[in-house]
Structure 1
Amino acid sequence: MAKVVPVVHHHNMHPNLRLCNLDRLSIAKRRLAKCMTANPLTSQTLAEFAKAMKGASSTVCTSFLPVFYFLLDTSRIPPTLALDSLDHTLESQLLGGFLSLDGLFSSRPSQETFPDLWPRIYAWSYYLFEHEDFVSGVVNLDNPKEYYCRMMDFFGYLSTSPSNKSQILSTPISHVLAGRAYKCFSDPADFQKHDKALWMVRNIFIGCNGRLDHVLEGLCGDITDFARLIHRNCELAVPPSARQMDMAKISHLTMSLAVIAVIDKIADVRPWQPQASASRPLCSALVPLGFVSIVAKAALTLSCIPVNKWTKANSEAMGPCLATLQILFQQDHHSNVLQEAVQCGLVAILLAASTVACTIRTQFNDSLLEGVCSILTTVLTPFTVYYPVLLLLDGDSHLLHLVSDIPNPPDTLKSAWATFVSALHARLELLTLFNSGTVISHRICGGCGIIAAKTNLKCCSHCRWVTYCSPKCQVFDWRAGHQAACGGNDRLRLKIRLTYTRKEFTFLRFLLHHEYANAKSQIALAHVLHLMATRNASVFTSFDFRLFPVRVDTLGGPEEPSTALKHPGDFVERGTKLLARMPLGNERTMDWSFLLARETHILDEFGEIAKRANLDSMGSNEIKDEVKRAISGEGRTAVAIAKLST
C-alpha cells in the first residue's frame, strides 16, 4: 500500500488560493462559493455545486480554485473506520472533496500553485481510489474512465513544469493512480479521445523506474495482469493490415515498448546486447500472450514505407521494435516464438531495416544495422536447424535475392546476411532430402563417437535411442551420464524429451548426422577452452557446432566436476546444463559442460556428437598445447577461441 504523506499546511499559501479571491466572482458564483465554504455543508448546496461544475469550462473551474483548495484540506478526509456509519457531516465532506477534485481536474491553475495543491490532490485521490467501491455509492461515480482520464490529463498539465513533473513522477501514489487509470483503456477510440491521459500514464510508468509494486496496487493484480493490459493496448495500436499506416497508433506502441524497457530495467543496456541471464518479468509474462506477433506486425507495417518517404519518426519506432523482438526471443527459447515472428514477416522486416539504414545513414539508423546483425546472427541463423522454423523460412526464401539490393552494406551486415543465406540454403537442401524419405543409414556410437552403419550398432535396451558399437562403449557412456538421461527415467523424460515432436526430433538427428559427416575434419577448430588455474585444474571444452550458439560453463574449485553426475536431482533442477565426459585421446577422461541457446537438455542428440567431435582431428598433445596457450596468468580464467570456417 502506498504511503500518504501528511500535508504540511503553508501559512504563506499562493495568493490564487486565498478565499478572499471569491469576492471577485459574479454574485451567483460568489453566493455558491460562500455556501460551499460554510460549515456545515447542506445537501442542497452540494447538489447546486455539482450541477454548476458539470460540463463547466476550465475558466469557470479555475475561478473556484480557492473553494477546491479549502474543501481538499486533508483534515476533512473521513476516517476509514467511520465509513461504515457515515453521518451527514462526514458524508458532506466526502462529497465536497470529490466534487472539488473533479472540478480541479477540469481547471488550469497557475503552475506556481503546485506546491500547495499537490499534497492535497494526491492525499484525496489515493483515499478515493482506496475506498472506490464504497465511495462510488456516495459520490455517484458513474464513469470511472472519464474521472481517471481527466485526472491524468490534469497531471499532464501540471507536468509542463519540469520541477512539478519530477515530483509527480517520484510520488508512489502517482504510480498507483496511473495503474488504476491504465485499466480503463479498453477501446480503440481511447487512443484519440484520451491521447494525453494515456501518454501521462506511460510517463508515470517510466518514472517508476522498474518499481512495480505501486503500479500493481493500482491495477489490483500481478505482473501477469499488467502484461495482459499492455498486450491489449498494443494490440489495439497495431493496424489490421500492414499497408494501413497510422503513425499516431504506432507512436503509442513505441511508448508502450519504452515502458516495458524501463520496467524490465533494460533501458540502460545496449538494446542489441541484453544480458540473457537478466530477470525480465514483464517480457516473460508477455511472450505466452503472443506479444511477439504484435511487435512483428508493427515492424512489418513500418517496413512497407518506401525509403524515399522514410522519416526519423519511422526509425525511432522501428528501433524499439527490433530491440524488443531480440529481448522477447531470449525469454523463451522454444522455436514457436520465432515461428510467430517469421510468420509475421521477420525476414522482410530485416531486409527493409537493412535497406533503410544503409540508404539513410544516421546515428540512429546505424543502431538499426546493429540490431539487424544481432537478430540474424543470434536468432535466425541458429534456428535454421529447427524443422517448423525451416519450413516457414522456406516460404520466405524468395526474398533472399533482395539482399544483393542493399546499398553499400557495411562488412558486419554483409557477413551476417551471407552467413544466414548460406546456412539457410544448406539446411533447405537437407530439408528437401529429409522430406524425400531419405533414410539415415549410419548412426553415431554413443561411446566413442565413431560413425558406422546402423546394422553394426546396437541400441540401448532401455531408451532404444542411443546406439553403441561395443559393450565397452555402452558401459562407458552409462557411467559417464547416460544413466541419468536415459529415456527410461520418466521424470527426466518429461524434462528432456517432450519439448519436441517426433518429426522435429527425427529431423534434428538427420541434420546432425549430415553436418557432422561434412564437418568432421574441421569441427575441432571450433572449440573454446577454459582453464581454471587452481590446484585441480580442469579443462572444459565447448563446441560451436557450425552455427549453433554455444557458451562454456566452467566448473572450477577443489572438487572434480564429475561429482555433479552423482546427483541426478541437480541434473533436473539446472535443466539448461549438460554434464558429460569427453575422452581426450589416450589421456584420462576430462569433464566438461556446455550450454546451448535453446533446448540444451537434449543430451542424447547434441551431447553425444559434440562431446566427442574432435577425436579424429586433434590428439591429446595438441590439446595440451592449446591449454598452455590459453593460460594468461596464475589464478586467472583464460579463454582461447578459434572460429570454424563455414
Structure 2
Amino acid sequence: MAALISYQVASRTNPARGPGIELWPRMVPWVQFFLDNYRFLQTLMTHIWLLRHDELYATLMLFCHCVGTEHPQNMSLMVSTPGFRVLAVRAWYSQAGKDIVLDSNDYFAMAVCDVFADGEGISLDEVIEGSDGDLDNFAKLLVRQCDPLIRRHSGSANPLTSKTRFRILRLVISTVVGLSRSASALLYPALVRHGYVKTLTMVMYAFLELPRASLRDLPPFEWDHVKAGVSQLDHLFFLRRAGHELQSSLEAGLLDVLLCCAQADVSDTIHLGSLCAIIAEFLTPSTVYRGVLITMGLAESKTTVSRVIYHEETKKVWTNFTEILARRLAVLNLFDAPGRITQRACDNFECTIIQAKRDLRRCSGCHTAFYCSRECQIGHWNAGHREGCSWHVQRRKSLRLMCTPKEYAFLRFLLRHDWQSHSAAVAVDYVKTQISNPQATLLALFDYAQGHRAFEIQHCVLGGTQHETEDGMEFDVPVFQQVARSGGRMTLAVMRLGNGDKSWTMWLPVRRASPEIPEALKAIVALGDSLTEAEVQEQVEEVMRKEPPNDLIHV
C-alpha cells in the first residue's frame, strides 16, 4: 500500500520520470508513516466506508491531527503530499453551514491549523480548487469560524490556553499570508467585507493577553506570524480597503497589539515601519487620547520602547511627542471634542455646590467663570475676579491663536486623565511639600515638552506682576491670586508642552473638596523612609478609597 501511494504521488507530481529507483526515497517515509500509525489507520479504515463525503473529509482531518500530535514528524510528510491541502480546504468547506468547525470541535480546528500553517502556507490555486472557485464564501468562512472560538475562550471560566492561541493565530494569519501576494486583488476585498480586519485584531489581541513572560519568550516562528499580521493591517489600511473596519479594530485592541509588538521586538525595522505608519496615520477620535496616553506611558517606562520611538528608521514619525500630539490634534479637528465637562463647581469658594453646567450662570465678561447665584457672582467679583476678568479674555484670545477649542478640550481631557491616574502620587508629594513649606502656593506640573510625561509638585514664588515656579516658569498674577485666595481649597494642574525650541503652558484649576490634609496622609508621610515606595503607594490608595478627595478639574 505504501509503495502504491508513493508511486501515485510521485507520478502525479513528476510523471515524466515514471517508476524507478528515484521513487525509493519517497517510499521510505511513507513506509515509516504506516508503521508508526498502524493503530490509527486500522481504526479509520474500520469506519471509513460508512461515512458520507463531508464526514469523510472531517474524519480525515481529525485523523491527521491525531497523527500529527502523536508523531509530529509525520505531519510535514502528509502536508507535503500534493492535493493534501486541497483536501483540507474541502474538509473545512464541507462544514461551512455547521458549527462543528471551531464552535464545538477544537480538534478539527487544530487539524486545519496544522495543514494551513505548515511550511509556506496554502496557495491560491489550492483554495480555488478546494472551494470550487467560491472565494467570497471562503473568506466568509475564514472570518466566521474564528470569531466564536475567540469569544468562547475569552471568559475566565474557560481561558484560552497558549497552545490554542498559537494555533488560532496560525490559522487566521498563515492562511492569508500564503495568499497575500497572489490573491490580494481577489481575496482581500472579500476578507475585509466580512470583517477580517477586526477578526485579525481580536486574534492578535487575545494572543497578546498571554503572561508577559510568555510574550518575551515567544519563539521567532510565532513572532513572524504576529509581524505578518501587522504587515497585513498596514497593507489593508494603506490601500483604504478597511473602511469602517478600522474603528472597530481600534476598539478591539489594535493599539495595544501594535504597541505591545513594538515593545517586545525592536530589531525588525520593516515591522516598525508598518507599526508607526498605522499609529501615525489611522487614529480616530474615540482612540486619539488613548493612543497618546499609551504612547506616553510606554515611553515613560524604562523599556525597549524608547528605542523604538527614536529608532533610526522611524525617526521621521517619532521625532518627539509634540509632533505626535499635533497629528492627533489634526485628526481631532474633524470631529466633536472629547472629554466634555458636564458639571462645574461654583467659582465662589465660599460656595461648595457642584451642579450641571447648564444650570449655572456664566460671567458675561470672560465666559470662563460660572456661578450658582447672583450673590456668588458678586462675592467672587469682589474677591479678585474684578482684576482677573479682563485677563481671562486676553488669555482666551491667545489660546485661540495657539490651538482650536477642540484641541484645547483634548488637552484639558488629557491633563484631567493624568491628574486622576497620578492621584496617589500627587497626594503624597503635595503633603510633603506643604508640610515643608506651608505658606507656598503649590501646583502639579505635568511636563510633556521633552517627548515624555514628567510629573512633580512645585511651589510658586511671589513676584511683581508675575509669579515664578522653582524652575523659572512664569505665570500671570491673576492665576495665582485666585489660588492664593482660595484658602487651600484650590490648586493648579499645569501642562507644559514643547513647541520647537520653546515651550508653552496651559493651566487648569483643581477644586479641592477640603483645604485640610487628611490626618491619615500626614501619618503616612511622617513614616518617611521606613516604608518602601510600593508600601506608600498602597497605603495612600487605601486612604483615598476611604476618604476620596473629590477633586474636580475646574475650567
The TM-score with structure 1 as length reference comes to 0.38
